[in-house]
Structure 1
Amino acid sequence: MGIMVGLPSPSGSEKDLQLNFGKNMTVQVEMRAPHLPAEWYPQSGIQLTWPHAGTDWAYMLPEVQECFKNIAREIAKRELLLIITPEPEVVKQQIAPAVNMANVRFLECETNDTWARDHGAITMIDKGAPSLLDFTFNGWGLKFASGLDNQITRCAVKAGVLKGNYVNRLGFVLEGGSIESDGMGTLLTTSECLLSPNRNGHLNQVEIEEYLKSTFNMQKILWLDHGYLAGDDTDSHIDTLARFCSTDTIAYVKCDNKEDEHYEALHAMEEQLKTFRTLGGTPYRLLALPMVDKIEENGERLPATYANFLILNDAVLYPTYNQQENDRKAKEVLQQAFPQHEIIGIDCRALIRQHGSLHCVTMQYPKGVIN
Structure 2
Amino acid sequence: MSFTLLPEWSPQDAVMLTWPHKETDWVEILDQVEPVYVALCQHISQVQKVVIVTHNQELKDHVIQLLSEASVDMTQIQFVDAPCNDTWARDHGPLTTADSEGNLCIKDFVFNGWGNKYASELDTQINSALCKQLASPSNLVQQVDIVLEGGGVEINESSVLLTTSECLLNPNRNPHLDKAQLEEKLKVELGAKSFLWVDHGYLAGDDTDSHIDTLIRFAPNNTLVYVQCDDEADEHYDALQAMESQLKTFTTPTGEPYTLVPLPWPSAKYNHDGDRLPATYANYLIINDTVLLPIYGDEKDALALTQLQKAHPERTVIGIDCLPIIHQFGSLHCITMQLPQGFLK
Please confirm whether the aligned pair reaches a TM-score higher than 0.5, indicating the same fold: yes
Q: Secondary structure at the match of 2:297?
A: coil
**Kept in 2: contact 1:76–1:104 (CA 8 A):** yes
Matches within 5 A, 1:98-109: 98=70, 99-109=72-82
Partners of 2:286 and 2:256 lie apart in 1 by: 24
Would you say how many aligned residue pairs link Structure 1 and Structure 2? Answer: 338
The reply on whether 1:166 has 2:155 as its aligned counterpart is no
1:239 alignment partner, one of 187, 204, 213 = 213
**Kept in 1: contact 2:161–2:192 (CA 8 A):** yes
For 2:238, the equivalent position in structure 1 comes to 264
Matches within 5 A, 1:1-371: 34-86=3-55, 87-98=59-70, 99-126=72-99, 127-161=101-135, 164-169=139-144, 171-297=145-271, 298-323=273-298, 325-371=299-345
The unaligned stretches of length 5 or more in structure 1 are 1-14, 16-32
Partners of 2:191 and 2:35 lie apart in 1 by: 39
Q: Secondary structure at the match of 2:35?
A: helix
The one-letter code of the counterpart of 2:278 is: P
Per the normalisation by structure 2, the TM-score is: 0.96
Deviations 1:124-166 (A, max 9, x none): 0011111110001111000000010010001111223465211
Partners of 2:257 and 2:205 lie apart in 1 by: 31
The one-letter code of the counterpart of 2:16 is: Q
Partners of 1:96 and 1:130 lie apart in 2 by: 33
For 1:27, the equivalent position in structure 2 comes to none
Residue range with higher mean Cα deviation, 193-202 or 157-166: 157-166
Q: Secondary structure at the match of 2:283?
A: coil
**Kept in 2: contact 1:290–1:329 (CA 8 A):** yes
Q: Secondary structure at the match of 2:344?
A: coil
Partners of 1:41 and 1:294 lie apart in 2 by: 33
Partners of 2:190 and 2:50 lie apart in 1 by: 26
- Say what the alpha-carbon RMSD is for the aligned residues: 1.1
The one-letter code of the counterpart of 2:112 is: N
The unaligned stretches of length 5 or more in structure 2 are none
The one-letter code of the counterpart of 2:239 is: A
Q: Tell me how far 1:365 sits from its aligned partner.
A: 1.1
Q: Which runs of 4+ in 1 moved over 3 A?
A: 160-163
Partners of 1:85 and 1:269 lie apart in 2 by: 38
**Kept in 1: contact 2:81–2:129 (CA 8 A):** no
Q: Which has the higher strand share?
A: 1
Q: Secondary structure at the match of 2:69?
A: coil
**Kept in 2: contact 1:88–1:107 (CA 8 A):** no
Q: Tell me how far 1:97 sits from its aligned partner.
A: 2.3
Per the normalisation by structure 1, the TM-score is: 0.89
**Kept in 1: contact 2:85–2:119 (CA 8 A):** yes
Q: Secondary structure at the match of 2:300?
A: helix
Deviations 1:276-332 (A, max 9, x none): 111121100000000111001111111110000000110000000001x31000000
Q: Secondary structure at the match of 1:258?
A: coil
Partners of 2:284 and 2:45 lie apart in 1 by: 17
**Kept in 2: contact 1:351–1:358 (CA 8 A):** yes
Partners of 1:208 and 1:201 lie apart in 2 by: 10
Q: Secondary structure at the match of 1:222?
A: strand
Partners of 1:142 and 1:34 lie apart in 2 by: 29
Q: Secondary structure at the match of 1:234?
A: coil
Give percent identity, aligned residues only.
49
Residue range with higher mean Cα deviation, 94-103 or 310-319: 94-103
The one-letter code of the counterpart of 1:108 is: D
Deviations 1:176-197 (A, max 9, x none): 0000000322000000000111
The one-letter code of the counterpart of 1:315 is: T
Deviations 1:203-223 (A, max 9, x none): 111111111112212110110
For 1:21, the equivalent position in structure 2 comes to none
The one-letter code of the counterpart of 1:303 is: P
